[in-house]
Structure 1
Amino acid sequence: MLQPANRLTLIDSMRPPPSFHFESAMAVTYTLDLRALLAAPAALAIAGRANDASDASDTYEPIELIHALRSHARQLTVFSQAGEIGLPPSRRAFAFLERAVIPVTAPRGGIVHPKVWVLRYEADDDQSDGHPPNRRLRVLIASRNLTFDESWDTVVRLDETTEPTGVLLEPVGDLFESLLRQSIARVPADHRERVHSLSTALRGTRFAMPPGVADLRVHVLGLTEDTSSPLPSDAARSLIISPFMSDDFFTKVHPVRVGELVSSPEWLDRLEPNSLAKVEEAHAFDDGSAPDLAGDESRQSLFDPGRRLVGLHAKVFAFEEHGRARLFLGSANATGSAFGRNIEILAELTGSIEALGIDRLCGGTEDERGLRDYFYTYRRSEPPTPPNGEVSLDDYRHAIARFAIEGHIEESGAGWAVTYRTTKPMPVLSDVSVHCWPLAVAGNRRQVRTGEPLEVRFETSLENVSGFLAFELAHEDTLSSFVVPVRLVGVPERRDRLLLRMLIGNAERFFRYLMALLEEDSADFSLLDTIERISNEPVTPDDGGGSMSLPVLEKLLRTMRRDPAKLDDLHPLVSDLAADDVLPPGFAELWRMIHDVATVGEPDQ
């Protein structure tokens, strides 16, 4: 169980095993926070170095994270429900994520709701002998989206094993193969190849079961016309935990008695009395958390993707019968849509009641309170009335996000221009104002005309051209803001290098960062703090006139003598920056000589 304070636990679960490094990954999420997606490549690259999010250390400079973003984001394929990418603060570093995100929709009009990662790691061993690399797979099935929400969630981590008792996860591969057919626009070839490769690997790989689990099955819902439920109907004891619910779950999906039902009081109030009559004990969940909304956040629509989730978000279906427990964890809520229209995933874990039973699930320990400590007896009140405009704004957001948008780049005078356009007319939105802007330039807004194809032009600099287009919908006092990935056409080759140079900055900043890395305590840093600062600092790249100071040279020589392994660890980063021509003049040649002496004993001639 992920507790609200563990905002990085899902990210931490992606870190490579010892002596392995990240090779590739595919993921699917419902809601996406681009800042959380920034954290994923860092976790994959900087194994074992991040401290808790509460660490306020400022010793970690962004350059290593920038390098990890650039090198690892190219190996990521992230599917996200169209219209569910939240609007983050403007960051230039988001440009490295533009090609990684693929918006998708569900085939039967529901939503794409799973939260799954499939990661492949490769051994650090030298493969120069011609043998194929040693690789390992990991699968994460969670209820938490790729966000930094402070909520109660679940995650099931499954690692590859050579034991014949391991389980196969073929349905996970089927899920991702199907998502290729559900994209808004054609999926680029490199993403298709990655998904096919990882899905094929999944079908031939066994995974170790978590402790206490005797059997494990994965159920993917919504890929076929079959809407039957995998939930048992004859359990002696049952518990359902679901933050969202609907009456048709209790009348059509699971029309049997439910022992205990746990949700928020607001969603319990929405149920008809006939539905609640099927429940023996209804509990409201209250851990004392409440969203702290300020400014525009207080005007967000009910399901705005930027709305921060707190409290209960885990989805759990637990059953006990004849001394055995069956636990269903994943993305599906107790709603008719989850089991009838959406694409969802549930991991079914079977084991003893002692290991997986309801009391074990909800109980606490001497050190931590359990879930049941936050249950209280539900007392019915009047169902809430949705405020005016919220439903329509969320529907309009999804309608706009279904359009394939292209951004055409061209030179314009002394700078550049990008024109975002669609081939089909935008939906007609009554009494709703629509504005859009490139995510990299938050202050440059244009009003969108509904009922005709999108055609908006922005004059900008090359490094501020964005493959993410931000939208804001406004109706009376309610807002809905979101981001849409855009396929850029006519991107100059030098854009990537220019962006890297802008993010790294001048020679002084590079040397300051290098000095920090060479310090004895350089492993101490805060990942979340860095993500908030990255590309937000004022940076002025110099014109090549930066020079290396004597303290930097002394530190390099001292490290060469005392800790040559540290130079070896930094060598891939420096080599890549040298290849991109973003190092201060003369530093690449000096580094090569010092590194050769430190690792070989004499410089290469």
Structure 2
Amino acid sequence: MTEQTMLAPDNRTLYGEILRPPAGYVLDQALATTYTLDFETALVVPATMAFHAAENRQDTLDSPLALLEGLERLSSRIAIFCEAGRIKAMPKQGNRLTALLENTVTEVLAPRGGAFHPKLWVLRFAPIDTGPTFMRLALLSRNLTADQSWDLSLVLDGEETAKRNKANKPIMDLVAALPSLATGRGASAANRAIAQSLTQSLNKTSWQHPEQILDICFAVNGITDEAWAPKMGRSVGIISPFVTDEALQELTSEALEDQCYLWGRQDELSALTPETLAKFGHVLVLDDMAETEDGEETTPDSNTAHSRNSVPARGLHAKAFFTEHCYDRRWHTEVTIGSGNATRAALLPSKGDGTGAANVEVFATLTGLRRHIGRVQDQFSPERLGRYLQDFTPYTSETTGTDATIERKLDRLRKMLAQAGLTLRCSEMPGDRIALLLSSQTPLHVPETIGLSVWPLVIGADHSRTIDALDQTDLPLCELALVDVTRWIGVRLEDKASGILQEFTLGTDLRDLPENRTAQILKSVIQNKSAFLNYIRLLLGDVSDAGKALMAAGSGGAGEGAFNTAQDRPLLEDLVRALSGDKQQLHEIERLMARLVDPDTGESDVIPAEFQMLWASFRQVMESETT
């Protein structure tokens, strides 16, 4: 057996490492696609990119100043596209800072009726001084959530060159198509610009190949009439949490039973026919791993009962396809990784009934010499992945066909809501209160067997309203403080007979929003003079040092902790240093102060009077240099 295999369980990459710029570079633009999304993870992403010390997700969430500055600094450079209606539910109160993601997150739908399922990052980094433009492409099997399942990632680094790279065309086509897939209010102008710009960069990017890899090919399903699937030989290895008989039969049509390996979820494997299982000499599951559920593959491939929620996933979320081929009288091993499961919806041609290769998926196939990267059987050997696996034992699912039918019924209403063109209109009330009015561009009638309730995301489900129908008539939703207004609403669907629930978050088109909403959010985070001075230091200081300080402050990030008072470090030094530079930091401070000062009185409860006097001198110098 070769000493090397493609999948080494001990070779692990932290998600944050994928997002951080290389030494000497800063993030220019980033684009992500995901099936499901949770806002807490989305909030942490800009802080992770901005502060290299932010290793722990919860530490970052406990530091509101870090979240705020990450969003302020980078959210306009990040575009996230996710499946409409698949943002995780927040039945309790949501984070007010989700308002700052309103233009970052775009909800989309697959054009062929399946699931929008690709997981990738395209990142462009600009040199701080001189140097080439640095690009990074990450193809993942996980969503932009806190899920802890077993996942796979392919991370490619490269540079923009003067020569076009035709091999990147499938990725380019996907990125270019994203804004056109948007539902509801559509993609923001910033997201459209990011998609267009990164498509142009991909056109001229050359990737560094991993060690021993001779060739990399990309493929995308779901945005054209063609369906792509890996070409499998006599030796086959498949890692897929979700599986269907038809897809597996197709993938193993030329395979030898004793050279076929299948690693899947126990409940999904139990739903396969004996004829399909007999195609594989080795059927495997994880050995006593932690159970998680990420809510994938909700588009049913048939009327079988195993479409969703049968049992929690047994720790598996990775997808990979292995095979061997002989080219030029030399044996090669091919490994395909990406977002697609071994299902009809992900891989096979459509039958014209809304199933089939209707999912939007992304894949990368890596090819290397078999003697260098191992045979299919080597990947699953006891010295490699096999030490974490055990033989499959059939599992009798407790999920009934009735439950699966109900889930599909709720899914149909979920998609109808996503396509209805929901609008939230703000009506100003006394006392800085806002009345929210909900309507839809497309009339929607809720079936009598289903309960629908919605609520403004930030204030939680305790303020939900039951809805029987929506149309273009404004429906009063609730009154709330301006600081709690976002375009996001929480949604709960319930089958009244069985009690089966679906909860999720939807975006709306938010209209007539008062201009000072963002200023109110800033004031809710920068609540006192100590917090203000901390934030000024964050704007002026070294990114790495600032990140470490904020993480050390922990839950005291709103004002107490690592920075403490103005005596820790003279602000004047930092201000003078910024004045001698490009003054970008000073312009950010001016913008911050404008939002924290009362426009009528010119005063602020959180800006120390001494700092206002000091800042007046710097403002005068800045103004004199621009005249």
TM-score by length of 1: 0.81
Q: Does 1:462 align with 2:464?
A: no
Task: Report if aligned partners of 2:346, 2:359 keep a CA contact under 8 Å in 1.
Answer: yes
Deviation at 1:355, TM superposition (A): 4.3
- SS of aligned partner of 1:13: helix
CA distance in 2, matches of 1:94, 1:404: 20
- 333, 338, 343: which is aligned to 1:330? 338
- 138, 142, 161: which is aligned to 2:140? 142
CA distance in 2, matches of 1:116, 1:594: 44
Q: 1:269 to 1:107 in 2, by over 3 A?
A: same
User: Who is 2:170 aligned against?
Assistant: 171
Q: 1:461 to 1:486 in 2, by over 3 A?
A: same
- 508, 524, 527: which is aligned to 1:502? 524
Structure 2, unaligned runs of 5 or more = 1-6, 295-305, 348-356, 597-606
- 403, 412, 435: which is aligned to 2:453? 435
- SS of aligned partner of 1:150: coil
CA offsets, 1:341-364, max 9 Å, x none? 111111000012354333564468
CA distance in 2, matches of 1:256, 1:352: 21
Instruction: Summarize the alignment of residues 50-199 of structure 1 with structure 2, pairs less than 5 Å apart.
Output: 50-52=54-56, 61-88=63-90, 89-125=93-129, 135-161=133-159, 168-185=167-184, 186-199=186-199
CA distance in 1, matches of 2:396, 2:381: 31
Instruction: Summarize the alignment of residues 265-276 of structure 1 with structure 2, pairs less than 5 Å apart.
Output: 265-276=266-277
Instruction: Summarize the alignment of residues 471-490 of structure 1 with structure 2, pairs less than 5 Å apart.
Output: 471-475=491-495, 476-490=498-512
CA distance in 2, matches of 1:57, 1:436: 29
Q: Does 1:33 align with 2:38?
A: yes
Deviation at 1:327, TM superposition (A): 0.3
Q: 1:224 is matched by which residue type in structure 2?
A: T
CA offsets, 1:86-144, max 9 Å, x none? 01351001010011111111122111100011111112228xxxxxx953221111111
Q: 1:103 to 1:2 in 2, by over 3 A?
A: farther
CA distance in 2, matches of 1:394, 1:271: 24
Q: 1:393 is matched by which residue type in structure 2?
A: L
Instruction: Summarize the alignment of residues 300-449 of structure 1 with structure 2, pairs less than 5 Å apart.
Output: 311-322=315-326, 323-339=331-347, 340-357=357-374, 358=376, 361-362=379-380, 370-386=384-400, 388=403, 389-414=406-431, 415-442=433-460, 443-449=462-468
Task: Report if aligned partners of 1:142, 1:155 keep a CA contact under 8 Å in 2.
Answer: yes
Q: 1:375 is matched by which residue type in structure 2?
A: L
Deviation at 1:220, TM superposition (A): 0.5
CA distance in 2, matches of 1:568, 1:436: 52
Q: 1:492 to 1:513 in 2, by over 3 A?
A: closer
Q: 1:62 is matched by which residue type in structure 2?
A: P
Q: 1:554 to 1:486 in 2, by over 3 A?
A: same
Q: 1:41 to 1:228 in 2, by over 3 A?
A: closer
User: Who is 2:4 aligned against?
Assistant: none
Q: 1:106 is matched by which residue type in structure 2?
A: A
User: Who is 2:219 aligned against?
Assistant: 219
CA distance in 1, matches of 2:333, 2:510: 51
CA offsets, 1:47-68, max 9 Å, x none? x3223558x799x843233122
Q: 1:479 to 1:551 in 2, by over 3 A?
A: closer
CA offsets, 1:528-559, max 9 Å, x none? 996xx699x7x9xxxxxxxxxx9844322399
Q: 1:577 to 1:426 in 2, by over 3 A?
A: farther
Q: 1:51 is matched by which residue type in structure 2?
A: E
Q: 2:520 is matched by which residue type in structure 1?
A: L
CA distance in 1, matches of 2:60, 2:33: 32
Root-mean-square deviation (CA, aligned residues, Å) is: 4.0
Q: 1:276 is matched by which residue type in structure 2?
A: L
- SS of aligned partner of 1:311: coil
CA distance in 2, matches of 1:198, 1:483: 28
Task: Report if aligned partners of 1:266, 1:383 keep a CA contact under 8 Å in 2.
Answer: yes
Deviation at 1:24, TM superposition (A): 1.4
Q: Does 1:45 align with 2:50?
A: yes
Deviation at 1:255, TM superposition (A): 3.4
Deviation at 1:395, TM superposition (A): 3.5
Deviation at 1:184, TM superposition (A): 0.9
CA distance in 2, matches of 1:84, 1:29: 9
Q: Does 1:587 align with 2:611?
A: yes
Q: 1:326 is matched by which residue type in structure 2?
A: E
Q: 1:100 to 1:254 in 2, by over 3 A?
A: farther
Q: Does 1:493 align with 2:515?
A: yes
Q: 1:448 to 1:67 in 2, by over 3 A?
A: same
Deviation at 1:575, TM superposition (A): 4.7
Deviation at 1:480, TM superposition (A): 1.0
Of the structure 1 ranges 563-572 and 327-336, higher mean CA displacement relative to structure 2 is found in: 563-572
Deviation at 1:292, TM superposition (A): 10
Task: Report if aligned partners of 1:169, 1:218 keep a CA contact under 8 Å in 2.
Answer: yes
Q: 1:227 to 1:353 in 2, by over 3 A?
A: same
- SS of aligned partner of 1:278: coil
CA distance in 2, matches of 1:4, 1:420: 51
TM-score by length of 2: 0.79
User: Who is 2:3 aligned against?
Assistant: none
